[in-house]
Chain A
Amino acid sequence: MSELDDFRAELRAWLLSHCPPSMRTPPGDGEEVWGGRRCVFPSEDARRWLLAANTRGLTAPTWPTEYGGGGMSREQAAVLAEELRALGCRPPLRSLGIWMLGPVLLRYGTEAQRRAFLPGIIRGETRWCQGYSEPGAGSDLASLSTRAVRDGDHYVVDGQKTWTSHADKADWMFCLVRTNPSAPKHQGISFVLIDMASPGITVRPIQLISGASPFCETFFEGVRVPVDQRVGDEDAGWEIGKYLLSHERSNISLSRDAQSSVEEPLAAQARRYEGGAPGEPLRDASLRDRITQVDLDFLCNKLALRRAAEEAAAGRPAGSEASMFKLVGTEVNKRRRELKVALRGFAGLGWEGEGYLDDELTTTREWLRSRANSIEGGSSEVQLNILAKRVLGLPD
């Protein structure tokens, strides 16, 4: 047996004894754990599972153990992912801190910042939100105008962020602020970490078409932020902010991929509504063809993702793939959600209350939520711009 096989066997045994059985089922609505000081665990098992995972750094498997990470090699982390999938374990924690901020701190942060922030991120004790977008700065993010003015060893921050997901539940925000208004727009931005409990911050939830209100407007009035909470040099935040975005993009596409592969196939759902024997072609030929198109695009995207991962593991990363997978993954996901509603016919039109199954109401809300996938994290149009410029070298 190779070392990796030993590792796998030991890990599997450990997971079997430490991951509670109820955590080995797909999470229902609202059962995901996002951590943070104000975290309300959906169940005692969910809390126990996170605590167990923390003893081995499973939430951040490849990060150094000195900060609480798992200290695993890439191969070991791949084994972990396979075992978690094979046993059906829920992710113990979901976290912007792990997906986005962690990689930034590991690359650009000072040792003191890593020690101060990484352990809380890894253990799910602090929850982070992303303060990028502003009313006047969406796709053109670099035009942001939230000001940070130096005052001794503090910055004083004034302005407004918007679309800040879960700002009302987060403990901290990683934030892009303008430190130099007279420099060209990309050169006057800094990347700072702000405690959401600071005086002068107001958060106001915004409601989405799906009825949920997962994001907020965030107002800053004379908020004092210690200068040592700036990551990287002053006015050098744009590069860092973009580095973080590439992690956001690959995460959006990867999590969609993982989610859809455990879902009941579209054709089986269609069969439930239109009847007919298994093996028989679906009666609605046009719906059937649309389902096949989505299935095939999903399959091809999955294969392309695997190819990119294998090339990267072989030391041949291809570059701007994150943009492609963000674009294709979210567009296919939107079509899939459309179809899920379409194949339910009238049963897909309920908002709430009697007359509809829970699954039908959820499907409809998820369809509405999915419309945001190709807007958040850089819109599809913006991804096309990036591909045209970086990959194809087309002129501005």
Chain B
Amino acid sequence: MGFVLSEEELSIQATARRVVDAHGGPAVLRRLRDERDPLGIAGELWGALRALGLVGLALPEAEGGAGLGLKEVGLVAEELGRTLSPAPLGAHTVAARLVARRAGSSLARELTPSLCDGSRLATLAHEEGVRHEARPRAVTLSRRGSGYALDGDKSFVPFGGAADWLVVSAAHEGGAALVLVELARAEIMSLCTIDSHGAARARFRGLEVAADAVLTTDAEAELGRALDEATLLLTAEMLGGAWEAFRRTVEYLKQRRQFGVPIGSFQALKHRAASMYCDLELSRAVVREGLSVADGAQGSLAELASAAKARLSDTYVHVTNEAVQLHGGVGVTDELDLGFFMKRARVTEQLMGDAAFHRDRYARLLGY
């Protein structure tokens, strides 16, 4: 019965809803934008989420996390998406899970409790070049003396300016490695992006890396899994945003009058709204199923992550484009929040691979 939310899940959802409504929302995003905030995080909201233990939902209980699953994190991510609240929940969860699993590294052991309670912030630095790829190439890890050296550029690190630690994917001897880098040691350039959510470029130039900071040099499977988890948490956020843009649009269709009647009585618009509704219902099903599978339900994580991201990339972009169009002139004004949804949709579409990337990947996974 993976689709029916349990009492506990409903209560997490209700708590998250309350907190993001109190401390997040488009008004906060607007302020970050107007102030050109280099970190791009709703700080107060993040503090409130930490105080309630919602930052470590899917992190180990023994280290101060809640020991729950990604499905629960997804419910909070949906609320962040619904209110367009920039908070590094997905990025941090996935990076912290990678660190927490590394009992062999004393650095990782030392960091884990602070990542679980959120007093330190981590993010995954993976994207390179102009498009998502599954394997790192531009950033390389090579042996140097008793340790390693890290070289190359990461082009788009979500919340990269605000994190304390980066988990960096790197090409290494024909495979992939994961490396812990303290933010202060990297060259960071904060990006001012259309969605005003934190993002940065990171450059490593022969950066010395101690052996203890290398989480693994055999990262292929683990990185693949982490990317799938990050992808699914991102789709949960996208789902929340898409439903909200849709809800606002349906409200507007009922209230705005032209030709003496509500514009929602025009069939051309009704049909567009109804077909978006179907898109969104199907989206919800695939996102929730993907997160259940990430938590251990039967199914292929990789297939579902690609299925979900392919659909949500298309759906979020389509719904926000329609939302702007169906609002007419006010739809393209900065005063209305809808533009923020459209901009966030564009960014999330590209992050972790767009629809074409994931359809291609899905086909490959199925052997065609």
Contacts and interface: CB of A to CB of B under 8 A. Distances in A.
Interface in A356-396: 381, 383-385, 387-389, 391-396
Nearest to B362: A292
A395 B273 CA distance: 13
A316 B4 contact: yes
Contact of B3 (A267, A281, A307, A396): A307
Contacts of B288: 307
Contacts of A304: 281-282, 284-285
B62 interface: no
Interface in A310-344: 310-311, 313-314, 316, 324, 327-328
Contact of A384 (B4, B250, B270, B359): B270
B18 interface: no
A268 B310 CA distance: 22
Give the interface centre of B270, B277, B282, B363 by most chain A CB atoms within 10 Å: B282
B367 A296 contact: no
B41 interface: no
Interface residues of A, number: 46
Interface in A142-190: none
A387 B311 contact: no
Nearest to A279: B367
A300 B283 contact: yes
A267 B367 CA distance: 9
Contacts of A291: 363, 368
Interface string B302-330: 00000100110000000000000000000
Interface stretch (B209-217, B258-266, B342-350): B258-266
Interface in A85-115: none
Interface in B1-38: 1-4
B359 A289 contact: yes
B302 to A, nearest CB: 14
A391 B261 contact: no
A271 interface: yes
Contacts of A279: 367
Interface in B336-368: 356, 359-360, 362-364, 366-368
B248 interface: no
A381 B275 CA distance: 10
A316 B307 CA distance: 26
A313 B3 CA distance: 11
A303 interface: yes
B277 A324 contact: yes
Contacts of B146: none
A392 B274 contact: yes
B253 interface: yes
A270 interface: yes
A297 interface: yes
B127 interface: no
A281 B362 contact: no
A267 B363 contact: yes
Contact of A314 (B4, B253, B356): B4
A393 B274 contact: no
Contacts of B274: 383-385, 387-388, 391-392
Given A281-B363, A296-B310, A310-B1, A394 B270 contact: yes
Contacts of A310: 1-4
Give the interface centre of A384, A394, A395 by most chain B CB atoms within 10 Å: A394
Interface in B243-272: 250, 253-254, 261-262, 264-265, 267, 270-271
A293 B273 CA distance: 21
B289 interface: yes
Give the interface centre of B2, B253, B282, B368 by most chain A CB atoms within 10 Å: B368
A292 B359 contact: yes
A324 B278 contact: yes
Contact of B286 (A267, A268, A300): A300
A393 B250 CA distance: 9
A328 B267 CA distance: 19
Given A296-B362, A297-B282, A306-B285, 10 more contacts: A271-B368, A292-B363, A311-B3, A314-B4, A381-B271, A383-B274, A384-B275, A387-B278, A389-B270, A392-B250
13 contacts: A292-B359, A295-B366, A296-B311, A299-B286, A304-B284, A307-B284, A307-B285, A310-B3, A324-B278, A388-B274, A392-B270, A394-B264, A396-B265
